[in-house]
Amino acid sequence: MKATYIDYNDTNSFSKTLIAYLNHNEQLAPFYGNKPDIAGFKDQIGKKKGFAHRELLTKILTDQYGDLLSSSPEVAQNIIRLKDGNTYTVTTGHQLNIFTGPLYFIFKIVTAIKLAQDLKKEFPDHEFVPVYWMATEDHDFEEINHTKAFGKKILWDVESLSATGRLDTSSIADTVKQYCNTFGLSDNATELTELVEEAYLKGSSLADATRTFVNSLFKQYGLIIIDADRKELKKIFAPIMEDDILKEKSYKAIEKTSEQLKEKGFATQVHSREINFFYLTEEYRERIVRTEDGKFEILHQGVYFTEEEIKKEIHAHPERFSPNVVMRPMYEELILPNLAYIGGGAEIVYWLQLKANFDQYKVPFPILIPRNSALITDDQMAGKIFRLDFTFKSIFKPSETLKKDYVKRITKHRLNLQDEWMEFNAIFGKIKLRAHKIDPSLGPSTDAVKARLKKAVNNLEKKLLKAEKRNHQDALIQIDRIKEKLFPGGALQERTDNFAELYLKHGKEFIPDLVKSFNPLDFKFTILY
């Protein structure tokens, strides 16, 4: 595939805050640590030199992978590398979307892989390992229980009340069949079907299935997949758990930061709570709240702890305490020798809300890297775009704007009445002067007549354009088809479409092409064709 790049700002698809971050807006400087550049990484390496949990981390990863390591030598090697003080991670994270969900799931991981490769070139004396953090403790199953393949919604319709990573996959067989039936008949279809079935029909939990599937796609790059829903790892986090639950320190720090961002004109993405942990069991994941009498309640469960009891529970069973969206980032940074976090636009925004909380706990704040975004098409579609005299940059405009631009460009007629209006305007100037001489109070009346005429001229202009559009109906229909293909439902392709269609077209070369084309530190939107 060939690649071209445009500025994120030109896509009109990303938030003001993200664009400001990419442009190094000074107003945002207090809300992040090192800048996302090579100089920033050099400093970040120094900050992470003292990481203390390498042996435990490698042991848990080895346990989690089990037999997968025998067929994943690059992954096994990277796990061993993590024991070494010169090895660092670059991490992305996401929910356990079935069959990977929307394309940006893939883009996140590819960005992490490519960034690790780029850092190795810049710092050859160090090792850099890409990590996918599975959000196994998330309980919002409705966000991940479906995917869209070839325009068809594939749904796994089961009930899940606790952590999605623990969900039994024994009932997913029909959903797997629906998904694979969209592939058609080809060598690539056969290969992808085998990968899907191996992962989702033989695993015992959604975490196992996701690990197996993602590993099959990315193992050649040494991608490490971690499930942090483990007691041994939670023990490291226990002191901060206690502080957050008993003293509400995180809430105070994050709320203050959020207000500061709002004062500078930046929208915030998440809200901190007084207590930012859930209580997690096999049956449920529910918020912890403080009652008026000072006890700690597990919502909707009739379970209560005194302050002393919850202290004991935190240290005896840290695995039962699950961080919410504002505390999970700190957990990640505590248990990984991590340099950078790679996230989507919304994630980058809420990470900016967290810097003060990291500072008060003296946890190094990672470099924030927006994941690469991309639009993927082919030569045939590119040809259609170019024949209409559009560019890849211009196709991000709304359909109606494109149609208007096309008709104005192609027409042999002059469709605007600007020159005529200038003549009218001059005439009305004379009329107003004459009216003023007769009676100064007639000024508003002449202005009102002028306004009505202006409206009539504008309406006539619209009719001229509409009439000319009818003369180019075939081209305008083609514009609609191009937009719907590249922006399904009016959204970026990456936010709706699953990777299967592209994998079936390109096979095993699809992911290597992405790795080759993505440039994480250039901060450009990628178009592949």
Percent of the chain with pLDDT over 70: 96
Same domain, 100 and 192: yes
Residue 6, judged by CB atoms within 10 A of its CB (0-12, 13-18, 19+), counts as middle
What pLDDT digit, counting tens, does each position of 395-414 carry? 999 999 999 888 888 766 55
Q: How confident is the model at residue 32 (pLDDT cuts 50, 70, 90)?
A: very high
Same domain, 167 and 67: yes
User: What value does the mean pLDDT take over residues 221-240?
Assistant: 98
pLDDT at position 166 over 60: yes
Q: What is the pLDDT of residue 522?
A: 97
pLDDT at position 155 over 60: yes
User: What value does the mean pLDDT take over residues 300-309?
Assistant: 97
Same domain, 21 and 96: yes
Number of domains in the chain: 3
Asked if residue 255 belongs to a domain, the reply is yes
More confident residue, 455 or 260: 260
pLDDT at position 453 over 90: no
What pLDDT digit, counting tens, does each position of 461-470 carry? 677 656 665 6
Other C-beta atoms closer than 10 Å to the C-beta of 302 total 7
How far from chain centre, in Å, is Cα 339?
Answer: 19
User: Of 323, 339, 356, which residue constitutes the final position of a domain?
Assistant: 323
What pLDDT digit, counting tens, does each position of 71-127 carry? 999 999 999 999 999 999 999 999 999 999 999 999 999 999 999 999 999 999 999
Asked if residue 420 belongs to a domain, the reply is yes
Same domain, 154 and 270: no
Buried b (16+ CB within 10 A) or exposed e, 436-457: eeeeeeeeeebeeebeeeeeeb
Domain that holds residue 69: 3-226+326-373+504-528
Q: Please choose, from the candidates 232, 247, 306, 309, the residue with its C-alpha nearest in 3D space to the C-alpha of residue 277.
A: 247
Longest dimension (CA), the chain: 98
Percent of the chain with pLDDT over 90: 85
Same domain, 394 and 359: no
Same domain, 132 and 273: no
Asked if residue 297 belongs to a domain, the reply is yes
Q: Please choose, from the candidates 402, 380, 407, 404, the residue with its C-alpha nearest in 3D space to the C-alpha of residue 391.
A: 402
Same domain, 87 and 216: yes
Same domain, 165 and 296: no
pLDDT at position 415 over 60: no
Other C-beta atoms closer than 10 Å to the C-beta of 232 total 15
Same domain, 332 and 465: no
User: What value does the mean pLDDT take over residues 190-207?
Assistant: 95
Same domain, 9 and 141: yes
| pTM (2 d.p.) | 0.88
User: What value does the mean pLDDT take over residues 228-251?
Assistant: 96
Same domain, 313 and 282: yes
Asked if residue 497 belongs to a domain, the reply is no
Asked if residue 498 belongs to a domain, the reply is no
Asked if residue 441 belongs to a domain, the reply is yes
Same domain, 292 and 279: yes
Q: What is the pLDDT of residue 464?
A: 62
